Amino acid sequence: MTLDPVQLAADLIRCPSITPEDAGALDVLQGALEALGFTCTRLPFEEDGTAPVDNLYARLGDAAPNFCFAGHTDVVPVGAQGDWQVDPFAGTQKDGFLWGRGAADMKGAIAAFVSAVSAHLEDGRNINGSISLLITGDEEGPSVNGTRKMLDWLKSHGEVIDDCVVGEPTNPDQLGDMIKIGRRGSVNGVITVNGAQGHVAYPHLAANPVPQLAAMVNHLSQSSLDAGTEHFQPSNLEITSFDVGNATTNVIPAQAIARFNIRYNDNWQADTISSWIRARLDESAGDSGYELALEHTGDCFLTAPNSFVESLSAAVQSVTGNRPELSTSGGTSDARFIKDAARVVEFGLVGKTMHKVDERVRTDDIRQLAEIYRRLLDAYFS
């Protein structure tokens, strides 16, 4: 009998797996997978300065190609629990929706993964290869002890993933709206300008760093990166803070700090975007100099439309009646790590309520998503 994805999603929601806690979510998932014949391997990782995180790799079969479903069981905090209409960890079904933290992002999709496999097997179809699940508990957190380390483990153990679907909630309004075929890269920057503190009435005895940093930030934010590409929107730079830490009105501060983030398209790579930033700052820095710290949190990637993407698009259209848009919009996901190991796309539930109070998804959508994944498996292994 095909596994009910709504019931499994509710069981997962009842595990309050706020990053980095697992709270039994992987046990629930492992039990469902082992009942289908999967071999499950738990992969706990830890690193100095971060909390330990448990993860799960499960595989059915040992031949190639290896089709992988990837996702995360960890969720963000619920915020003010009193603002919720229901207990956020009760897995409540009401008004045609499944309510709870993680319903959309992304326990509903994980349940649909498992249901799709159970339906594929129940149909008596052959698996001309393998099906695997790569499930982390560290996507909503620092992403240090999760997917990246799992991929390293897979490589060291000769495990190869060929194609992957990440179950992030990609649809803006209704199921079938959008498949993500890539993501923009992301880099955070911190600019520090040092001056010399002094009395505002005696500026010649001080060096004010604020005007210089303001000029640099203005020049940076006014500089156009590009006009976009075939599959990507224009790259954008946003100033996220400008801090002096000065609580008085008669003191010239000794230091000023600004922070920014750039989301960049496939015109750029980590080294070229870094060079562009430094060149723009050098143009406006003046004689005092500055310090720059850059943190690259994800590379730009694109899975160009191909037969795999077309199979998913066809499955979505056959179930929902919608031809999905192929998009690279939005933020980052663990697909930014998986793209180095396999062709990867993202498709999941509707994301309107993810990370919000009263997170919820239509129960019919969960069942339809499971059917989409099943049809994709049928096509992939046909």
> What confidence score (pLDDT) does residue 288 get?
74
Domain ranges of the chain: 5-183+300-380, 185-298
What pTM was estimated for this model as a whole? Answer: 0.91
pLDDT at residue 331, rounded to an integer: 85
Pairing of strands 163-166, 343-346: parallel
Q: What is the pLDDT of residue 66?
A: 98
**The pLDDT value given to residue 310:** 97
pLDDT at 118: 97
> Could you please report the per-residue DSSP string of 224-238?
------SSSPPPEEE
Q: What is the CATH number of domain 5-183+300-380?
A: 3.40.630.10
C-alpha to C-alpha distance for 166 and 342, rounded to whole angstroms: 12
- Extended beta strands in 11-141, E state: 39-42, 56-60, 66-72, 93-94, 97-99, 130-136
pLDDT value at residue 123: 85
Among 157, 158, 183, smallest CA distance to 168 is for 183
Written as tens digits, the pLDDT of the chain (382 aa) is 789 999 999 999 999 999 999 999 999 999 999 999 999 999 999 999 999 999 999 999 999 999 999 999 999 999 999 999 999 999 999 999 999 999 999 999 999 999 999 999 998 888 899 999 999 999 999 999 999 999 999 999 999 999 999 999 999 999 999 999 999 999 999 999 999 999 999 999 999 999 999 999 999 999 999 999 999 999 999 999 999 999 999 999 999 999 999 999 999 999 999 999 999 999 999 877 999 999 999 899 999 999 999 999 999 999 999 999 999 998 889 999 999 999 999 999 999 999 999 999 999 999 999 999 999 999 999 8
Catalytic residue numbers, as ranges = 74, 139
Tell me what pLDDT residue 1 has: 74
How, if at all, do strands 301-302 and 182-183 pair? antiparallel
| Topology of domain 185-298, CATH | Alpha-Beta Plaits (3.30.70)
List, in order, residues 6 or more apart from 286 with CB less than 8 Å away: 212, 215
State which amino acid sits at residue 94. Answer: K
